[in-house]
Structures are given as structure tokens and as C-alpha cells.
Amino acid sequence: MRFSSGTRGRAVIGVAALVLLAGVLGGIAGALLRPGGSTASGPAAGAPCDVPGVAARVLPSLVTITVQGLGGAGTGSGSVLDRDGNLLTNDHVIAAAAGNGVITVDFARGQARVPARIVGRDPATDLAVIRVAPDAAQLTPIAVGESAALVVGQPVVAAGSPLGLTGTITSGTVSALNRYIDVGQGAAPATLVNAVQTDAAINPGNSGGPLTDCAGRQIGVSSAGAKTPGSEGGGSIGLNFAIPMDFARSVADQLIRTGRATHPGIGVLAVTVTAEMATATGLVRGALVQQVVPALGAAQAGIRAGDVITSVGGTPVNSVDQMLVAIRARNPGETVQLTYVRNGAQQSTNVAVSGT
């Protein structure tokens, strides 16, 4: 998205700062990259990708979103979810229009300046759904793929409106999976959980646009990308991130049904036991519980402050990020086994996952 106002990035990782894919005139919205998952730098796996064929399938479902409101003005991207007029995008694309703002949509292969309204927002995951009248445009829903089936090295295609250049198609590979990306602004927390990392060229204005497989099925929502410090107007450096479509679709379905979304949690506040902290304190690596929220799953299961969570559902965790990824892979109402260490002794318990 391209904004007329913004804030400078607040984190630098090595030589790159991670930013929301929002081009701005006054600065850029910052984010913090927390590593996880495996990486690949080689060529794409499998057969070559028919990018022109993908473009032909995806462009009828691609939209450019223009926003004007008290919070600023700008453009972003999105995709058509259904014939009822629901469009999927990032929350930061349409946030400026919350309240009395104006949103219009240009279809890459159709009508322009179609009025839209906000159906629901989920700032915590940077997802939103907007809607146009079903008879206001020719609606071609995008095919939806399974992000859970992605493998590192497979080819992918990104579509959107970088720097306002509508209907732009780029291609690359899945560079890594299961990244945890903090894209919160100030006091407003927001995270991309299990994010897909790709080297497909994604630039400001691609926010909210589809990342697809070579069959033209959407497997992600392009959301954040790395920039070298001081290059706020520069292009992609091949380090970009998308919200996995399995998760995005579940949030979108909730927003369409109720206007809001809930997320799985167990009711703990924790900090990461780093290698340095483990050496200094004798604690094991994991997520050190600092606070347990009364009446939620962890409290009911007997988890206490001072426990170090080391495994969730059989998945080892060495950090709070990995714990959150493992928990958010569950659904509210499920029960998950937690392994933790208390006073040097390993224990396990079943914890109810709640929606928050």
C-alpha cells in the first residue's frame, strides 16, 4: 500500500529492515523478523512454472484497492474470494478508511472505481475482508490452494499493484516456511504466523495481493518484505513474506460470518530462554512462563509462572515464537499436550485451547 503518512521502520535485522509492503511518502511501517523453519537458495523444485498461464488465471481475480480516510490515503492489492463480492486483503491496506473513509476497487480485468465497504478487520493478523456489491462488477473468485502442502524450493507467483503499477506479475520460489513475523505498530500488536518466505519480487503496493502456486491457486497473502536501511524507495531484495492461505482463509471466513476473528491461545505470557540465558541460569531452552491468565487452559491445567514450556503437541519449542506457531496451528476447543520443566523435572499435561 502507498500512504501519504507513515512511521520509520523500528527494527534492523543484519543489513535489512523488514517492512510492511506499504510504500509511503513520509516513511515506512516497520517490523521485526524472527527466524524459524528451513531455508533454500537453489533453483525452483520440480517442473518449470507456466507463469503466463498463471497470470491468465489470476488476473481476473486481482484487484487494486484505493483508500482515503483520516488515517491517510493510498493503494494496495487484494483478491476476489467469492461471487458475493468479498475481497481478501491486508488490514493495513484498509485501516486508514476505518470509520468514515472511502474505499474503491479497480479490477485488473474489469470495472474501475467500484465502491467497497469493510466487512471485518483483524489487525492482530493483518487480515481484512472488504465487499463490493455483487452486481457492481464481474466477479471471478480466485482458486484457493493448500498452503500446508507447500515445500521449500517450489515455484510461486505474486500478483499485485507495486508502486501503483496494476496487474503486475512476478515469480520466484518458496525460500522458507513457518516464519514468525512481528508487524505490529506501536501499541498495536500484529504478527504473521507460519509465514511463507519467498524471493518473488514483491514491492510496496503488493500488500494484500495473492501469492499463488503454478496452478494459479492462492497459497498466501503478500504482506511484508525486507529493505536495506536507507532504501525506503528501493525495490525488492528477494526477502518477502506472505500469510499462508490456510490461515488467511479461516480468518476471512470468520470475518465474513461475524465481522471479527478469534485466535487460539492457552493463556500464558512468556519469554524466550535464549542460549545465553540458559547458560547463565541453568534453565532449559524453551518458553519461560511469566504470567498465567486465570480461568484459561494453562491455568486450569496447572501451569505456573516459572515453568519452561519445551514442547507443544509433540513439537519441540525453543522460543516463544515457536510456541505461538505450534499453538496457533490448533483450533479453539481442541486439547493439546504441553511438555514443560518445573524445578528441573520434566512434566506433561493436556491444555485446552481457547479462542481470544
Q: Are 108 and 167 in contact (CB under 8 A)?
A: yes
Catalytic one of 147, 175, 207, 223? 207
- Taking the C-alpha atoms of residue 188 and residue 288, their distance in angstroms, rounded to an integer, is 23
Q: Helix-strand-coil percent breakdown of the chain, rounded to 5? A: 15, 40, 40
Q: Are 23 and 2 in contact (CB under 8 A)?
A: yes
Is 126 catalytic? The answer is: yes
Catalytic one of 61, 79, 92, 175? 92
DSSP 141: P
- Taking the C-alpha atoms of residue 44 and residue 172, their distance in angstroms, rounded to an integer, is 8
Q: Write the DSSP string, 258-324.
A: HS----EE-SEEEEEE-HHHHHHH-PPSEEEEEEE-TTSHHHHTT--TT-EEEEETTEE-SSHHHHH
Catalytic one of 91, 106, 122, 126? 126
Return left, alpha or beta for 328; rule: phi > 0 is left, psi -120 to 50 is alpha, else beta: alpha
Catalytic residues: 92, 126, 207
